[in-house]
Amino acid sequence: MVDSQILLSIIIPAFNAENYIEKCINRIVPLLDCDVECIVVDDGSTDNTLRLLRNISNNIVNIYIISQKNTGVSGARNNALKKAKGKYICYIDIDDVIDTGTLKKVIEYLRDNLSEELVVFPHYEGNDSKGFILKEQILHEGKNTDLMGLYKATFSQKLNEPWKKIFRADILLNNDVTFPTDMYMGEDLCMFVDYLQYIHCFTYINLPYYYYYKNDDSASAMIKTSFIEQEMKLYACLENFIQKQSLDRMLSQENDRLLLHKITRYIKGLVDHKVSKRDIKFVIIQSGAEDRLKQIEFKNKADKIRKWLLVHRKYYTLTVILKIFKGK
């Protein structure tokens, strides 16, 4: 539902986020103007999230609150997109913050460059106690019509998160590009490779407006038995994109290698948490990961060793070797 009067829609999903709302929203409010709107989706929170959002949004122009049953972050983003009126879409997570002044410069850029199909940015990563470091992308600054650099950055999985980018709403809506709701990991990247099929150029701008608060949840997520199933879905999504676009075999090899390394890290996590070999074997076989690895030929000697240990189910030996060479 794009409105010619609205330039940018900022979409924020929120679930049990009462501790983050004010810090996040207060930095966005000064940006809300006649051509900038903010849509916050309360995704079935059980704390005070909805009440706080309604209080904050009182008497503020162009901030809209959607309340829905819990569907997960993908469902919340997809629902907000249907309501968004902006020509461009910007995604923000409620537990992160933006630099108001820098995002204002981005908005001014968009006002002067209405033909952009995709805009990519560096970002800051860290936390309040340890500080933040700038994470730049290995991309050429300015407008790029050669998409191979973008593809390589994507397949190295350095462009996963949607908050590193600003999207064109009509490309998303006209091609039904949404976040897959059956994934809780890798859904950002699946959405992005779907979007890449419909663009001809992108612009990389050195205006890092986003502060990503990194936490340690990834370590616990690695222990979930469904983790490997999610990774296999992501792997299939990327392979499908490579085939559709008839891309260089090198990208497929990078996808294969990432799968191998993620599976080995996953197994190490299970072994460290004293999961039995029988249970590890069940998960790896059931997910299809073992069969897929058997079909892949790796060139790197270390990768060949990883593969051999995996397909021969030498999980504990693999973990010992990883600890020796990684020092942990």
Q: Looking at residue 211, what DSSP letter applies?
A: E
Question: What is the dihedral angle through the alpha carbons of 130, 156, 178, 229, rounded to the nearest 10 degrees?
Answer: -90
12 lies in a domain? Answer: yes
Specify whether 129 is located in the same domain as 192: yes
Specify whether 134 is located in the same domain as 227: no
Specify whether 211 is located in the same domain as 258: no
C-alpha 42/C-alpha 14 separation (Å) is 5
Tens of pLDDT, residues 260-286: 999 998 998 889 889 899 999 999 999
pTM (two decimals): 0.90
Specify whether 310 is located in the same domain as 204: no
130 lies in a domain? Answer: yes
Domain total in the chain: 2
Tens of pLDDT, residues 106-115: 999 999 999 9
2 lies in a domain? Answer: no
Contact 239, 281 (CB under 8 A): no
Specify whether 164 is located in the same domain as 271: no
Q: Which of 195, 215, 235 is the last residue of a domain?
A: 215
* SS3 at position 261: helix
Specify whether 202 is located in the same domain as 295: no
The CATH number covering residue 34 comes to: 3.90.550.10
Percentage of the chain surpassing pLDDT 90?
A: 76
C-alpha 282/C-alpha 298 separation (Å) is 24
Tens of pLDDT, residues 120-178: 999 999 999 999 999 998 899 999 998 988 998 888 888 889 999 999 999 999 999 99
Predicted pLDDT at 323: 81
294 lies in a domain? Answer: yes
Specify whether 236 is located in the same domain as 146: no
Specify whether 128 is located in the same domain as 253: no
Please compute the mean of the pLDDT values over residues 294-319 and round it to a whole number: 94
Specify whether 49 is located in the same domain as 167: yes
Q: Which of 176, 191, 215 is the last residue of a domain?
A: 215
Q: Looking at residue 162, what DSSP letter applies?
A: G
173 lies in a domain? Answer: yes
Contact 204, 137 (CB under 8 A): yes
| pLDDT score of 223 more than 70 | no
Q: Which of 196, 215, 234 is the last residue of a domain?
A: 215
Domain that holds residue 292: 220-326
3 lies in a domain? Answer: no
**DSSP assignments along 172-183, one per residue:** HHHTT----TT-
Predicted pLDDT at 225: 60
Closest residue by Cα to residue 280 from 302, 296, 292, 264: 264
1 lies in a domain? Answer: no
Q: If you average pLDDT over every residue of the chain, what do you get? A: 91
Specify whether 41 is located in the same domain as 185: yes
Specify whether 226 is located in the same domain as 145: no
Please compute the mean of the pLDDT values over residues 23-34 and round it to a whole number: 94
Specify whether 157 is located in the same domain as 32: yes
* SS3 at position 43: strand
100 lies in a domain? Answer: yes
